[in-house]
């Protein structure tokens, strides 16, 4: 076993411990440590990814060299490594892009706490990505919830506390359901390691016994994770949580946290239940329908919204709907499309959140559309970035959003019964996306000659602008040369089986 195989373990560990270290460091140092950790983890994930691509096989890493069922396992395949790398990149961009706002948003004394939470969040995300053990997954789900709550709450404004409480309740409900499902599963199979459960599940299905409890367990786990990832109609917590937290938090929450849960669900589908068995249940139909509804209703809510941050938040609901629609198709192609959309949405959403803050900054801090009039002239790069993000969301070629739309549509055509519904909803949803994103874009490019706000140029905010440009580039790269990414996803899914 190569040294590189230790990397997943290392990265979880580093981020976990750096969190602890941050608590004793001053804010500036904590920030440095945080960045360093994210970068290091990203680097390790990249190396791991290259390694996996060269070997072409996934590996299982025994923590402390105890074999199952006593030991704890970590599994790394192309998909996991890629996802970890991507999460790090997005996280880095989000942190860097929101850094200049932190002093305004969070009181000085809480800064180190903020970085602790971010590091914890990263470690939990990595654990969710890498784990091969259901119970470990559950533990890190909880850690994730807590750190996310902290990130929302840390701004300590009335609305954020309310939002955090709401998020807490919904999330705990979700994890509770997940735990129920897990218990039943453990009851049925007697295992906690994913690979072991899968074998038992296959046996159960073959014998035809205990099928209903099994499906109940699967359903419970699914619903739990759906709540946590804000699938319509469980999205009530989302707009406030994303809309009022700090910029970086919002970007991270919307692009990573919910995606972490979704990735866990994918893992459960492939590694725990088995893709074919999962597809034979009616659960996918339910996911499909809710996905479609999310696409429509999320966008409709976004259209009604008069607050740019909340609008972007509602747009997330719609995008999550896309992802679940992909699951609901029950085909490999649908799954590939969903995973690609996880990437593309994460890249776009963080970009939008960061760009939005640039726009509100030059509009007296107001997020109301009326005040944003002409904001793009006052902060040129933020305007460009927001436009790019919007175009990607609408699905204009050259941007990542187009590729996910393309993949979804291609996947949809191959599913006999669901083809028309998904295609039409896809079309309608694009129209709705266009309505609210383009409304905003035009608003920010409508000049108002005597706006009382100051402009921000490149020289004022170099780091911020660089982050914007990087995010746009990331988006465009995903949009232009998507083939390697898609291939990688396919390879990763193959490794899952």
Partner 1 sequence: MIVSVILIPFITGILVPVIPFQKRWQKEVFLETAVVLNSILVWYLLLHHSDSTFLLAHFTGNLNISFRVDGMSMVFAGLVSALWPFATLYAFEYMTKEEHENVFFLFYTLTYGVTLGIALAANLLTMYFFYELLTLVTVPLVMHTLTREAVLASRKYLYYSLGGAAFAFLGLIMVIVYGSTTDFILGGVLDPAKTAGKNNVLLLIYVMAFLGFGVKAAVCPFNSWLPQAGVAPTPVTALLHAVAVVKSGAFAIIRLTYYSFGTDFLQGTWAQDVVMTIVMFTIIYGCSRAVKETHLKRRLAYSTISNLSYILFGAVIMTPLGLVGALTHLVFHAVMKITSFFCAGAVMHQTDRHYVHELNGLGYKMPRVFGIFTISALALMGVPGLAGFISKWNLAGAAVESGNPLAWGGIACLLVSALLTAVYMLTIVVRAFFPGKDFDYSTVSDIRDPNWKMLLPLFVFTVCIVLFGVYSQPIVDFFMSVAEGAV
Contact residues for partner 1, defined by CB under 8 A: 391, 394-398, 403, 405-406, 409-410, 412-414, 419-420, 423-424, 426-428, 430-431, 434-435, 438-439, 441-442, 445-447, 480, 482-483, 486
Question: Could you give the CA distance from residue 135 to residue 128 in angstroms, rounded to a whole number?
Answer: 11
Rounded least distance, CB 83 to partner 1, Å: 20
**Please, which residue, 143 or 391, has the CB nearer to partner 1?**
391
Least distance to partner 1, CB of residue 472, Å: 15
What is the Cα–Cα distance from 395 to 337, expressed in whole angstroms? 14
DSSP string computed for 126-194:
HHHHHB-BHHHHHHHHHHHHHHHHHHHHTT--HHHHHHHHHHHHHHHHHHHHHHHHHHHHHHHH---BH
Nearer to partner 1, 237 or 436 (CB): 436
Rounded Cα–Cα distance for residues 352 and 447 (Å)? 21
Helix/strand/coil for 59? strand
Report the nearest approach of partner 1 to the CB of residue 265 (Å): 25
What are 485-489's contacts with CB under 8 Å, separation 24+?
A: 485/340, 485/343, 486/336, 486/340, 486/403, 486/407, 488/53, 488/78, 488/79, 488/82, 489/79, 489/82, 489/336, 489/339, 489/340
Q: Which of 438, 306, 308, 310 is nearest to 362 (CA)?
A: 308
In the bound state with partner 1, the residue whose beta carbon lies nearer, of 306 and 414, is 414
Inter-residue contact 261 to 225 (CB < 8 Å): yes
CB of 100 to partner 1, least distance (A): 29
Q: Which is nearer to partner 1, 44 or 393 (CB)?
A: 393
DSSP classification of residue 421: H
The position carrying tokens 């004793």 is 24
Cβ nearer to partner 1, comparing 21 with 486: 486
Shortest Cβ distance from residue 326 to partner 1 (Å)? 15
Quote the least distance from Cβ 435 to partner 1, whole Å: 5
CB of 400 to partner 1, least distance (A): 11
Q: Please give the full DSSP string across 66-124, using - where no structure is assigned.
A: PPTTTSEEEEE-HHHHHHHHHHHHHHHHHHHHHGGGHHHHS-GGGHHHHHHHHHHHHHH
User: To the nearest whole angstrom, how small is the minimum distance from the Cβ of residue 307 to partner 1?
Assistant: 19
Nearer Cβ to partner 1 (107/442): 442
Q: 193: which strand partners?
A: 133
Question: Exposed/middle/buried for 181, CB within 10 Å: 0-12, 13-18, 19+?
Answer: buried
Of 358 and 479, nearer to partner 1 (C-beta) is 479
Cα separation, 8 vs 63, whole angstroms: 11
Going by C-alpha positions, the residue among 220, 327, 313, 321 that lies closest to residue 263 is 327
The rounded distance, in Å, linking the Cα atoms of 149 and 158 is 14
> Could you tell me if 345 and 495 are in contact, meaning their C-beta atoms sit under 8 angstroms apart?
no
Nearest CA to 142 out of 17, 36, 260 is that of: 260
**Token pair belonging to 454:** 């100051």
Q: Minimum distance from CB of 443 to partner 1 (Å)?
A: 8
Q: Work out how close the CB of 483 gets to partner 1 at its nearest, in angstroms, rounded to a whole number.
A: 5
Determine the number of helices (DSSP H) and then strands (DSSP E) in the chain: 23, 2
CB of 457 to partner 1, least distance (A): 17
Residue 438: CB minimum distance to partner 1, A: 4
Q: Closest CB to partner 1 among 144 and 348? A: 348
Dist CA 352 CA 490 (whole Å):
28
Give whichever of 204 and 435 is closer to partner 1, judged by the CB atom: 435
* C-alpha dist (Å) from residue 252 to 213, 320, 348, 428: 36, 15, 12, 28
Nearer CB in complex with partner 1: 224/395: 395
Considering the complex, state which of residue 349 and residue 443 has its C-beta at the smaller distance from partner 1.
443
| Beta carbon nearer to partner 1, 268 or 318 | 318
């Amino acid at each position: 076993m190569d040294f590189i195989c230790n990397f997943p373990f290392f990265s979880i560990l580093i981020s976990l411990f750096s969190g602890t270290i941050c608590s004793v460091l001053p804010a500036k140092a904590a920030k440095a440590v945080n960045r360093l950790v994210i970068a290091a983890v990203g680097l390790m994930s990249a190396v791991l990814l290259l390694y996996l691509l060269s070997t072409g096989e996934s590996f299982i890493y025994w923590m402390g060299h105890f074999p199952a069922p006593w030991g704890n396992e970590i599994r790394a395949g192309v998909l996991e490594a890629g996802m970890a790398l991507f999460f790090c990149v997005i996280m880095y961009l989000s942190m860097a892009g929101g850094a200049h706002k932190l002093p305004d948003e969070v009181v000085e004394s809480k800064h180190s706490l903020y970085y602790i939470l971010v590091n914890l969040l990263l470690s939990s995300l990595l654990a969710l990505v890498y784990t091969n053990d259901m119970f470990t997954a559950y533990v890190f789900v909880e850690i994730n919830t807590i750190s996310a709550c902290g990130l929302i709450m840390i701004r300590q404004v009335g609305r954020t506390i309310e939002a955090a409480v709401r998020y807490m309740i919904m999330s705990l409900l979700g994890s509770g359901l997940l735990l129920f499902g897990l218990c039943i599963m453990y009851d049925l199979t007697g295992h906690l390691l994913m690979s072991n459960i899968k074998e038992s599940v296959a046996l159960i299905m073959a014998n035809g016994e205990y099928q209903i409890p099994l499906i109940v367990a699967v359903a419970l786990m699914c619903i739990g994770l759906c709540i946590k990832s804000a699938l319509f109609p469980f999205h009530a917590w989302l707009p406030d949580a994303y809309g009022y937290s700090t910029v970086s938090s919002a970007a991270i929450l919307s692009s990573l946290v919910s995606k972490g849960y979704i990735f866990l669900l994918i893992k459960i589908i492939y590694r725990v239940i088995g893709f074919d068995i999962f597809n034979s249940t009616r659960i996918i139909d339910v996911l499909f329908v809710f996905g479609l509804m999310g696409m429509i209703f999320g966008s409709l809510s976004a259209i009604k919204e008069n607050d740019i941050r909340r609008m972007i938040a509602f747009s997330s609901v719609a995008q999550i709907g896309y992802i679940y629609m992909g699951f609901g198709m029950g085909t490999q192609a649908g799954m590939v499309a969903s995973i690609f959309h996880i990437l593309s949405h994460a890249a776009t959403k963080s970009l939008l959140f960061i760009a939005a803050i640039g726009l509100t900054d030059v509009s007296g801090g107001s997020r109301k559309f009326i005040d944003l009039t002409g904001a793009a002239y006052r902060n040129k790069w933020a305007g460009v970035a927001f436009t790019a993000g919007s175009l990607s969301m609408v699905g204009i070629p050259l941007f990542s959003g187009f590729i996910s739309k393309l993949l979804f549509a291609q996947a949809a055509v191959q599913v006999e019964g669901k083809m028309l519904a998904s295609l039409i909803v896809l079309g309608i949803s694009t129209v709705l996306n266009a309505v609210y994103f383009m409304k905003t874009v035009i608003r920010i490019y409508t000049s108002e000659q005597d706006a009382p706000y100051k402009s921000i140029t490149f020289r004022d905010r170099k780091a911020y602008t660089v982050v914007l440009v990087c995010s746009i580039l990331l988006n465009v790269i995903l949009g232009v040369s998507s083939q390697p990414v898609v291939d990688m996803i396919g390879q990763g899914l193959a490794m899952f089986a």
